[in-house]
Amino acid sequence: MIDKIIQKLKNQKIAILGFGREGKSTYKFIRNYLKDEQITIIDQADIKSSNEEMFINDNHVNFISGVNYLDNLEQYDIIIKSPGISLNKIDTTKFYHKISSQMELLLSVAKDKVIGVTGTKGKSTTSSLIYEILKKKYKVLLAGNIGKPIFDLDLNENVDYYVLEMSSHQLEYLDISPKIGIILNLFQDHLDHALSVKHYHDIKMRMFTNQEANDYSIYCSSNPNLNKKVQTTKLKGHLISVDITGKDHKSTIKMIDGKVYYHDELVFTRNLERNILGDHNLENIMVAFVVGKLLNIANEDILSAIASFKSLPYRIEYIKTIKGVKYYVDTLATIPEATEEALKALTDVDTLIFGGMDRGISYTEFITFLQHSQVNNFICMPKTGYDIGQKLKNKNVYYTETIDEAVQTAKKVTKKGKSCILSPAAASYEYFKNYQEKGDRFKELVLK
């Protein structure tokens, strides 16, 4: 497999666009197998001076940096782009066909071995659960947006399947899709990158639109945005719908009155043994079950993997009970729908800490949901929290500038026997590098 990828890179004028985690992974991979191939590393930051040790013995590498770093990309034969680099403000017409990625290079040589998972929310949980299920029978690797670059895997191994979490940034320029493609849901998100909801949803749909007739397209029909896209887009793959509402009796897997049927066979109930909370996670479980069945894994093995699967960090993650109050961290809830699901899953939340970076998402329906929720105390953080808090009526609303102040307030106002959760319903970039840093700070303060 590596030989096939290397052949695609040999004797090419290569540009690595973006030099974060994935860019560094790409550079190391190419240098491992092509010692003398000329590489140009392109990043707005001064990569050479900040990574001097990496390039000490490399006489075949060039660097481009500064405000005009995206100029003249058409001069390269292949541009291996990192997901975090946005090209939405420049004209890509002259070099669009040259844009590639680790993901595209793997798919180009092994698409029949790839299960791809995308959606606005639930990607990491569902990818990880599918990985645990497939491990019951196959040699399988997990990579992609979950935090593991594909080129960091040992691609020499005799792997049966790759489970790849795929973000909109990774899908945007793909012209090839996995054998088994999954879209979980479509909400508003990443509007700072995609510029419009329609464009963002169209990017996600590339998971299906690039598939062939013998591929599988698994989607959750209960999500209105996704269902409409599927019904109004010409798709080639075998459509497999997952319905948790009980409304679509034609779905491949569906839940009716708390019972889940796969091709009309009762396979489990809502009360199955599991550690991940909420109906949104039950839907993720149904998706993972379908993948297991497509790849001929026995029901008992699938259910065993589900029962032992633990919730991933920062996703309705229980921290500790302190003075009678249960504390949870849910900083991966970066859109309002995710926070809503957390409050539905935890029926005893007395205090919600929320708010973050404003990315142009509409919060109208979220405000209505909060107004009618069981939550008594709303601790609002800038910027979105401040805006939403002003519209809540007959609730205890507190405004705090920092997470430190928010935790202090929560400890004062949350009733014993109840729960407090940090679930921002927004991105964490207002004061933090990412959702992990914000979640870790919250845990530290809770336990202090």
Q: What percent of the chain has pLDDT over 90?
A: 92
Element of type H or E holding 401 = none
Radius of gyration of the chain (CA): 23
Tell me how far apart the alpha carbons of residues 17 and 69 are, in angstroms, rounded to a whole number.
9
- Range name among 147-156, 217-226, 404-413 with the lowest pLDDT average: 147-156
Tell me how far apart the alpha carbons of residues 330 and 74 are, in angstroms, rounded to a whole number.
42
Confidence at residue 236, expressed as pLDDT on a 0 to 100 scale: 98
CA distances 263 to 186, 236, 249, Å, are 25, 21, 10
Confidence at residue 431, expressed as pLDDT on a 0 to 100 scale: 87
Q: Find out whether 181 and 239 touch, Cβ atoms under 8 Å.
A: no
Own/partner pairs, 206-209, CB within 8 angstroms, 24+ separation: 206/171, 206/172, 206/174, 206/177, 207/116, 207/118, 207/166, 207/171, 207/177, 207/178, 207/181, 207/182, 207/183, 208/177, 208/181, 208/183, 208/233, 208/235, 208/237, 209/177, 209/233, 209/235
Expressed in percent and rounded to 5, the helix, strand and coil fractions of the chain are: 35, 20, 40
| pLDDT, tens only, 256-312 | 999 999 999 999 999 999 999 999 999 999 999 999 999 999 999 999 999 999 999
Tell me how far apart the alpha carbons of residues 185 and 221 are, in angstroms, rounded to a whole number.
9
Domains and CATH numbers, the chain: 2-100 (3.40.50.720), 103-308 (3.40.1190.10), 317-447 (3.90.190.20)
- Residue 166 CB neighbour total at 10 angstroms: 29
Q: Find out whether 182 and 207 touch, Cβ atoms under 8 Å.
A: yes
| pLDDT, tens only, 102-118 | 999 999 999 999 999 99
Residue 78 — pLDDT band, cuts 50, 70, 90? very high
Confidence at residue 156, expressed as pLDDT on a 0 to 100 scale: 77
Confidence at residue 1, expressed as pLDDT on a 0 to 100 scale: 85
Tell me how far apart the alpha carbons of residues 282 and 269 are, in angstroms, rounded to a whole number.
10
CA atoms within 13 A on the CB side of 36: 0
Confidence at residue 392, expressed as pLDDT on a 0 to 100 scale: 97
Q: What is the 8-class DSSP label of residue 111? A: G
Element of type H or E holding 161 = strand 161-165
pLDDT at 191 over 80: no
Tell me how far apart the alpha carbons of residues 201 and 137 are, in angstroms, rounded to a whole number.
34
Bridge-based pairing of strands 325-329 and 419-422 is parallel
pTM flag (> 0.85): yes
